[in-house]
C-alpha cells in the first residue's frame, strides 16, 4: 500500500457507503440541515444523492468532511 493511501482516511470507502452511513447516523432531516442541498431535502434517496454528488465535487467534499467528522466523534 502506498503512503498516500495509508494516510487517506477515505481510502477503500465508497461514496455509497458514506451516504448510507450518514443517513443511518443522522437521518435525512438532520443531514439536510447540516448540508443544505436539494438531494437531501427534497424527496431524498441514496440513488439521487449519489447521482448529484458524483457531478458536484463541492457537495461531495462537504459530505466527505461530515463523514470524517462523524467517524472522529464515534471514537
For the stretch 35-67, pLDDT in tens is 999 999 999 999 999 999 999 999 999 999 999
Angle formed at CA 37 by CA 34 and CA 43, multiple of 5 degrees: 105
DSSP string, 10-75: TTT--HHHHHHHHHHHHHHHHHHHHS--HHHHSS--HHHHHHHHHH-HHHHHHHHHHHHHHHHHH-
Q: Where are the domains of the chain?
A: 3-74
Q: What pLDDT score does 74 carry?
A: 82
- Flag whether pLDDT at 6 surpasses 70: no
Fold of 3-74: 1.10.720
- pTM here is 0.89
Kindly state the percentage of the chain with pLDDT values over 90. 84
Asked whether the predicted pLDDT for residue 30 surpasses 60, the reply is: yes
Amino acid at each position: 500500500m502506498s503512503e498516500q493511501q495509508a494516510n487517506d482516511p477515505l481510502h477503500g470507502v465508497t461514496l455509497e457507503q458514506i451516504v448510507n452511513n450518514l443517513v443511518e447516523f443522522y437521518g435525512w432531516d438532520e443531514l439536510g440541515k447540516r448540508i443544505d442541498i436539494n438531494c437531501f431535502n427534497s424527496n431524498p434517496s441514496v440513488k439521487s444523492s449519489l447521482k448529484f454528488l458524483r457531478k458536484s465535487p463541492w457537495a461531495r467534499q462537504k459530505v466527505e468532511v461530515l463523514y470524517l467528522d462523524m467517524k472522529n466523534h464515534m471514537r
